[in-house]
């Protein structure tokens, strides 16, 4: 079991900033745990339906870290308002 490197993280999460990369590496997670966290973030319903237990331990920590990178609904720009005639 080897720890993640900066290159590992950038290959998996290309849009991660330096602070996020440092948090991921500091978690002590493996590449398999990072992949599991990404799978949970991408689409948790099939994993739950397959009977897979919710992410725990370092994978759960990575889910929390990576979810901060996901844009929230509040971050999405509002559609432009049409001018009134």
Domain span at residue 38?
Answer: 6-69
In a domain, 17, yes or no: yes
pLDDT (tens place) for every residue of the chain, 85 residues total: 678 999 999 999 988 899 999 999 999 999 999 998 888 888 766 666 667 777 778 988 998 899 888 765 555 555 556 566 5
In a domain, 81, yes or no: no
In a domain, 23, yes or no: yes
Q: What's the domain count of the chain?
A: 1
In a domain, 56, yes or no: yes
**Per-position DSSP letters for 32-85, written without gaps between them:** HHHHHHHHHHH-HHHHHHTTPPPP-HHHHHHHHHHHTTSPPGGGSPPPPPPPP-
pLDDT of residue 55: 78
pLDDT of residue 23: 95
């Amino acid at each position: 079991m080897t720890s993640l490197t900066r290159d590992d993280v950038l290959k998996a999460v290309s849009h991660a900033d330096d602070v996020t990369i440092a948090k991921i590496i500091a978690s002590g997670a493996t590449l398999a745990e990072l992949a599991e966290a990404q799978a949970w973030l991408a689409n948790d319903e099939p994993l739950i339906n397959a009977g897979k237990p919710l992410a725990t331990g370092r994978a759960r920590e990575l889910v929390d870290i990576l979810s901060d990178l996901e844009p929230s609904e509040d971050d999405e720009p509002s559609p432009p308002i049409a001018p009134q005639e």
